[in-house]
Amino acid sequence: MVDRAEAPAPLIRQPGIGALLLSWLRSPGVLNATPVLIFFLIGFVGPLVIVLAFSFTPERTFDLGAGFTTENYEHIFTESYYISFIWSFALAGLTVLCNLMIGYPIAYGLSKLFGRWAAPVMLVLVIPLFVSENVRLFGWYLFLIKGGGILAGGLKTAFGIDTGTLLYEPGTILMGMIYVYLPFTLFPIVLGLSMVPRDQVEASRDLGASRFQIFREVELPIAMPGILIGALLTFVLAVGAISEAKLLGGQNTPVIAQDIQHEFTYAQNWPLGSAISVLAIVVTGFLVVLVMRRLDLDRLLGRR
């Protein structure tokens, strides 16, 4: 072992923090990224900063300099706006849960079982994405609408059964959300499951694992990054969902996005709308960070 105390002092002086920062700013990578960086700052970060600033201005002002207050945030909790938070997060959570349970078996089939049928099945699942979400939801609306709807009307003409309607129920909103967001859960899971090596599954079988044990010990842990990404994507999209509640829920069930839209347009109360937006972003962001910390994106994208 070399005695460290006798090691000679380094001849080259270590550069200071300022010099390091300067050299970093001058590096080709940073210079090349500058135009995009500026574009993002103006187009992406800018509006968010404005929303954040508005959320601290007094009620019904359109002037950022009108003073500082936290009353908008207090209003969310004192005036029942928090209910839409509960609905949105509950619906989003349930959507994720249902989509995971529906999506995993389909994803398993797509990546392991269907073989040459995987592509056609995938196509069938992707094609609806080419049609606008609102149009598809309106299709459901027509199907379920009371009296003359395809379901109720059909049952009446064919069997003479008089039914009510499934519309305007939270369960129908959930169904709409599951339907709309399934692909966003499904495809990351397919990606995740495709990372499960066949030989590891065989090895675990050879070592005495049952079908369920293979799922729990090998497939699930290896596919977990994909599953988490799918869940995250679905959750974030579902928290901001508005059309499902509007079309299928008939505005009986309040959701966050609807509140925000209402405050910015009909109620003309930008500060409150901003406060709801900011709170939604913070809560969602917190959950995202929580999940992302468990995630190794590099591994998922095959860079390692």
Partner 1 sequence: MVDAAPILRMVSLTKQFGRLVAVNDVTLDIQEGEFFTIVGPSGSGKTTLLRMLGGLEKPTAGDIYLRDERVNQVPANRRPTCMVFQSLALFNHKTVGQNIEFSLKMRGESRRARRERGLSLMNVVQLPEDYYDKSVTKCSGGERQRVALARALASDPDILFFDEPLSAIDYRLRKLLEVELKDLHRTTGKTFVYITHSLEEAMVMSDRIGIMQEGRLIQIGSPNEIYLRPRNKFVSEFMGEVNTLAVQAGADGGIDCPAFERRFTSPARPDGFANGYLVIRPESMRFLNDPSEAENHIEGSLFNEYALGSRVQYHVSAGGSMFVVEKLREQAYRGSLNDDVLIGWDAKDSVLVTD
Stretch that binds partner 1, among 28-36, 60-68, 184-192, 206-214 (CB under 8 A): 206-214
Is 295 a residue that touches partner 1 (CB under 8 A)?
no
Which of 100, 122, 151, 209 touches partner 1 by CB under 8 A?
Answer: 209
Is 206 a residue that touches partner 1 (CB under 8 A)?
yes
Is 222 a residue that touches partner 1 (CB under 8 A)?
yes
Cα separation, 54 vs 25, whole angstroms = 33
Is 221 a residue that touches partner 1 (CB under 8 A)?
yes
Core vs surface per residue 269-290: b (16+ CB within 10 A) or e: bbbbbbbbbbbbbeebeebeee
In this complex, which beta carbon is closest to partner 1, that of residue 218 or of residue 257?
Answer: 218
Cα separation, 63 vs 95, whole angstroms = 39
Q: Please identify which residue in the block is written with the tokens 């090895």.
A: 203
Question: Is-contact 69 278, C-beta < 8 A?
Answer: no
CA–CA distances in Å: residue 169 to residues 56, 144, 166, 245: 35, 11, 6, 9
Question: What are 167's two structure tokens?
Answer: 């519309």
Question: Is-contact 186 223, C-beta < 8 A?
Answer: no
> 255: closest CA among 270, 245, 264, 247?
245
Stretch that binds partner 1, among 48-56, 58-66, 81-89, 215-223 (CB under 8 A): 215-223
Is 298 a residue that touches partner 1 (CB under 8 A)?
no
Cα separation, 264 vs 50, whole angstroms = 14
In this complex, which beta carbon is closest to partner 1, that of residue 200 or of residue 261?
Answer: 200
Cα separation, 25 vs 39, whole angstroms = 17
Is 71 a residue that touches partner 1 (CB under 8 A)?
no
Stretch that binds partner 1, among 11-19, 68-76, 178-186, 197-205 (CB under 8 A): 197-205
Q: How far is the CB of 300 from partner 1 (least distance, A)?
A: 13
Cα separation, 260 vs 241, whole angstroms = 12
Cα separation, 134 vs 179, whole angstroms = 12
Which of 23, 80, 213, 251 touches partner 1 by CB under 8 A?
Answer: 213
Q: How far is the CB of 224 from partner 1 (least distance, A)?
A: 9
Site map for partner 1, 122-161, x if CB under 8 A?
----------------------------------------
**Residue 7 DSSP label:** S
In this complex, which beta carbon is closest to partner 1, that of residue 6 or of residue 206?
Answer: 206
Which of 59, 74, 202, 298 touches partner 1 by CB under 8 A?
Answer: 202
Q: How far is the CB of 85 from partner 1 (least distance, A)?
A: 36
Counting residues that bind partner 1 (by CB under 8 A) gives 17
Q: How far is the CB of 188 from partner 1 (least distance, A)?
A: 18
Stretch that binds partner 1, among 29-37, 214-222, 238-246, 267-275 (CB under 8 A): 214-222
Backbone angles phi, psi at 64, to 5 degrees: -65, -20
Site residues (vs partner 1, CB under 8 A): 197, 199-200, 202-210, 213, 217-218, 221-222
